[in-house]
Amino acid sequence: MWLPRVVEAVRGSDRPVALVGGEPFGVPFVIEALRQHGPLAWFEVDPWGDQVSHGNALARAVNAELPAPLLSLALPYRAHLAALSRYRSDLRPLRFAVTTSDLDQAILADLLDLHGNGYSVVLDVRGDPTDGDGLLRRCLVLDEDFLRVRREEAAAIVPGGLGPEAAERLWRASGGRFTELAAVAHQAAGLPRLHLPSPAGPLLPESAAELVDVRQAVYAFMREGDPISALELAVLKAPELVEDLLKHAGPRFQSEGLLARLHVLLSALPESHSHTERVLEWRLMAAWAANDYQEVLADVDAYLAAHVAPSLRARRAGSLPREEGFAMAEQAVKARRTPLTLWQYGRLHPNPEKAAELLRESVRLAEEQGSAYEVARNASTLATQLLHMGEYARAASWARWALDVVDREQVQDGSRRLIIINQLAVARIMTGDLVGLRAVLEDAQALVEGSVPGLAVIFRSTLGLLELAEGRPEEALGLFSATYHASHRRNRARYGYQLVRALLELGRLDEARRVADDVWEVSTAGEGHERKLAALARGMVGAVAGDAAAPDDLLEAMLATELVADQRLTAVLYYLLATGGAAHNVPRDLVPVLSGLNRVGLSVLSGPARDFERVWATLSVARAPLAFRFLGGFDCRFHGEDVQLPPRLAEAALALVLHPEGITRDELNDFLVSDGNPPFTSGGMRSLVTRLRQLLPVSDAPYRFTVPVEADVLLVRELIRSSRVREAVNLMRGPLLPQSDAPGVVDLRWQVEEELRQAVLLAGDPDAVYDLAERLGDDLEFWQAAAAALSTGDPRLALARARVRRLEQSYGLS
Amino acid sequence: MERAEALARLQRTTRFQFVGDRVVVRNVALLNSIAAAQRVEEENGVAASSAEVGVAPLRLAAA
């Protein structure tokens, strides 16, 4: 039998397979038949395609095979390959099939790299392409000779009613080409016309193709939800339709990241159809995205000289320097208040408070009369504005809401989604809400690193902030350093001050000074804000080193309203360090922001703690003199100084922390020594307590600390009791004293973990559930809870469902 | 971008094929959509003549 023979050859290969024979030799039928043997993501590589259009095709094909969408559109295919590689254990088995007539497309070689370990690749090679990169040498090639229908296989293809003689005759006439044989056999048997499978749905054989009036085809594409094809066809043969089509096609090109292609299409329009208002608007946007806009600017300006054109005017405003752009945006919004004009006006408004107010209004207007894309765009810009103002909690709220809109309404623009994720992450770090952030940021960074350089820089920077927030300065240094050393001269100051921050945290003052000096030198010819950031970097080093000039540098930076809030706040904190607390010089707009920062925000913006404890103490609630960390490791600070305790004393300290009223010798013995082991002798217990008392203030028996104490384990339990599960998960950095097997520790470890587990399951907070599910590994109940808690459109939903499926299979439950 | 350059690039990369002023279509869903639209138009009495806007079998020899 022809089909099983070919399908088995594909399935039996441990190498990628190239089917070279195309439609005539029945390759589409082979690929379609592979679906019966597991999930199959089949897509076609566009002949004009760029990395993003290839990414869109790949994303659509993969998402169609998953229980929920995982990959967003508008991202280069390499971002998706990174995600597929990262989530392989949950997504496999998965077969990729690619139809192409151009073996030079880079996506093919990259996709072949993915082959193996649960993924397999099939190339459907059409025509007679050159194989410059030797792609086919990496594949098992099944060529026309192999794909040809053998005489004995023909009878199974030809309907039985025609008889063996007819089968023989048709087989000879077809030359063994499956599609031709099947088509004529269908026709001879009076069966419905043969349809060929394809990634875009069933096709007629080439010989049965139909000629269609172009306008009819354009409208049909629109009805079928494909305005992108409709517009291309209209540009080629019905340009008079373009103005109207752009209403739907323009936003689609934009949200799918295809503005470069739109630029080609609209540049090809005859002049008679390229100077209308909507066409000019999209020509401007597409040309701007393609960085080829000089010509269109002249056309736009000529049009605006004679027309009000609010939308076009608002778009043009965005391409001008800020002051000029603001004046034009104001004209646009006065002419007509729309989600677009109001958004642009708010975005460019010089007064931060007013800008936020306008942007909030633009969100409301977008909800009333705009698209989901406009709602998300406007809300995301509002979040950015609030971040710049240091209104982190409000920024988090708007970013979270914008993300919900993107996911719920399935706004396809993956780049915008990532930008919102980053905004939300920064806002959450600054407010100390770190639950689940690491996974989100690491996933995003893996996606964009090496594929979307602009976003990779942003995510590296935000991940660096998270590392600082979680007390991992070495990791922060690695991230900041990578960005700094790869940066353009004009961005040196921007990234240099972050690098200085990490170096200071690690006590590497000389290196920090060298970076600050370099930044100062290369930024001297730069614009104002570069100079001010360079002053910030130099001032930070000076503040820690005690340089007399440091306050001046820092004053310059903190007064610079063109810098964003976190940069100015850093300047303020180092200024307070350098001046011994000259709080009267702190700019008035930063005072409420500064006093609203919690410990996490403060430790991200300034450090190291040994230098800043006094500054922080003046800004936040006083801390207990004795502070312990027992979760995920052990730290002890007494009056701000690190105290080193050996493991046994750390266990004893935990016992005392749990008994503020005091613990007897017997109770302490029971806490430390398991049944069956010899108990402490009276002298041994006294010695243990004496050693602890030499380091920390401990009373006589019953033993207790004689100063107020704070400990993370106590706080976690308090948070659980008051149903503040996000904060509890956030604080639960790891097991209680992970190395300890003292019975009291082991019991409490289990108890705290179970309390948290139950609280998180009960609360159903998606971030908290997903975070804990990842930490717990293969806990089916948690992955089921995550799948139930996550909203449609959130890519984590696809992964949670895939993990549930895998775990149910491995536990024999499905 | 110059119009001539854009047009050349578009013609080089488009997947559409034309015979005269008509476009070659093989996609079954698209053809069904066109046929359905024509039926509606005919039922409403607003159909243009099939010679103007209809679907015709492809005769490659005519290309």
Which whole number is the average pLDDT over A693-708? 91
Q: Is the pLDDT of residue A75 over 90?
A: yes
User: For chain B, what is the domain count?
Assistant: 1
Q: Looking at the domain assignment, is residue B62 inside a domain? A: no
Please give the Cα distance from A715 to A710 (Å, whole number).
8
Which whole number is the average pLDDT over A325-334? 97
Count of other CB atoms within 10 angstroms of residue A460: 24
Give the pLDDT of residue A314.
97
Contacts 24+ apart (CB under 8 A), A112-117: A112/A16, A112/A138, A112/A139, A113/A81, A114/A81, A114/A84, A114/A85, A115/A15, A115/A16, A116/A14, A117/A88, A117/A92
**pTM (2 d.p.):** 0.83
Angle of CA points A232, A266, A301, to nearest 5°: 160
Closest Cα in chain B to A49: B13
Which whole number is the average pLDDT over A116-130? 91
Tell me the pLDDT band of A53, cut-offs 50, 70 and 90. Answer: very high
Give the pLDDT of residue A202.
96
Interval A268-302: pLDDT, tens: 999 999 999 999 999 999 999 999 999 999 999 99
Q: Cβ of B14 and A263 within 8 Å?
A: no
Of A205, A216, A235, the CB nearest to B10: A235
Give the pLDDT of residue A85.
94
Q: Looking at the domain assignment, is residue B7 inside a domain? A: yes
Of B28, B52, B57, the CB nearest to A202: B28
For chain B, give the number of residues. 63
Q: Cβ of A267 and B3 within 8 Å?
A: yes
Q: Is the pLDDT of residue A310 over 60?
A: yes
Cβ-in-10-Å burial (0-12, 13-18, 19+) of A525 comes to exposed
A344: tokens are: 């642009």
Q: Is the pLDDT of residue A770 over 80?
A: yes
Give the pLDDT of residue B46.
59
Q: Is the pLDDT of residue A41 over 90?
A: yes
Give the pLDDT of residue A596.
85
Cβ–Cβ under 8 Å, residues B9 and A44: no
Q: Cβ of B28 and A204 within 8 Å?
A: yes
3-state SS track over A342-390: HHHHHHHCCCHHHHHHHHHHHHHHHHHHCCHHHHHHHHHHHHHHHHHHC
Q: Is the pLDDT of residue A426 over 90?
A: yes
Please give the Cα distance from A110 to A770 (Å, whole number).
31
Give the pLDDT of residue B54.
52
Give the pLDDT of residue A48.
74
The full set of domain ranges for chain A reads 2-147, 154-208, 211-307, 492-619, 626-763
Give the pLDDT of residue B50.
41
Which whole number is the average pLDDT over A700-723? 92
- Chain B residues close to A267, C-beta within 8 Å: 1-3, 5-6
Please give the Cα distance from A802 to B20 (Å, whole number).
50
Topology annotation, domain A211-307: 1.25.40
Q: Is the pLDDT of residue A527 over 80?
A: no
Which whole number is the average pLDDT over A610-617? 87
Topology annotation, domain A2-147: Rossmann fold (3.40.50)
Please give the Cα distance from A151 to A171 (Å, whole number).
7
Q: How far is B17 from chain A (nearest CA, A)?
A: 10
Please give the Cα distance from A569 to A591 (Å, whole number).
9
Helix, strand or coil, per DSSP, at residue B56:
strand
Tell me the pLDDT band of A769, cut-offs 50, 70 and 90. Answer: very high
Token pair 């094909």 in the structure block, residue: A61
> In DSSP terms, which residues pair with B55 in a beta bridge?
A212
Helix and strand numbers (H, E) in chain A are 43, 10
Q: What φ, ψ does residue A257 adopt, rounded to 5°?
A: 75, 30
Look up the ipTM and state it.
0.83
Strand residues in A439-594 grouped as ranges (E): none
The sign of the dihedral angle between the CA atoms of B35, B37, B39, B41 is: negative
Give the mutation candidate from B16, B27, B38 for the A interface (greatest A CB count, under 10 A).
Answer: B27
Which whole number is the average pLDDT over A655-671? 93
Please give the Cα distance from A83 to A85 (Å, whole number).
5
Q: Looking at the domain assignment, is residue B19 inside a domain? A: yes
Q: Looking at the domain assignment, is residue B61 inside a domain? A: no
Cβ-in-10-Å burial (0-12, 13-18, 19+) of A396 comes to buried
Helix, strand or coil, per DSSP, at residue A477:
helix
Please give the Cα distance from A771 to A428 (Å, whole number).
15
Q: Is the pLDDT of residue B51 over 50?
A: no
Give the mutation candidate from B34, B42, B49 for the A interface (greatest A CB count, under 10 A).
Answer: B34
Interval A438-468: pLDDT, tens: 999 999 998 898 888 889 999 999 999 999 9
The crossing angle, in degrees rounded to 10, of helices A227-237 and A242-255 is 140
C-alpha closest to that of A158 among A193, A183, A194: A183
Tell me the pLDDT band of A8, cut-offs 50, 70 and 90. Answer: very high
Structural domain range at position B17: 3-55
Q: Cβ of B18 and A236 within 8 Å?
A: yes
Q: Looking at the domain assignment, is residue B33 inside a domain? A: yes
- Chain B residues close to A268, C-beta within 8 Å: 3, 6-7, 9-10
> In DSSP terms, which residues pair with A122 in a beta bridge?
A17, A97
Interval B12-49: pLDDT, tens: 989 999 999 899 999 999 999 999 998 888 877 654 44
Helices of type H across A390-413: 392-408
Mean model confidence pLDDT for chain A: 92
Q: Looking at the domain assignment, is residue B28 inside a domain? A: yes
Cβ–Cβ under 8 Å, residues A101 and A44: no
Please give the Cα distance from B1 to A287 (Å, whole number).
9
Q: Is the pLDDT of residue A796 over 80?
A: yes
Give the pLDDT of residue A192.
86
Cβ–Cβ under 8 Å, residues A413 and A41: no
Give the pLDDT of residue A795.
85
For A615-663, give the DSSP string.
Answer: HHHHHSPPPPSEEEE-BTS-EEEETTEE----HHHHHHHHHHHH-TT-B
Helix, strand or coil, per DSSP, at residue B19:
strand
> In DSSP terms, which residues pair with B19 in a beta bridge?
B22
Q: Cβ of A48 and B25 within 8 Å?
A: no
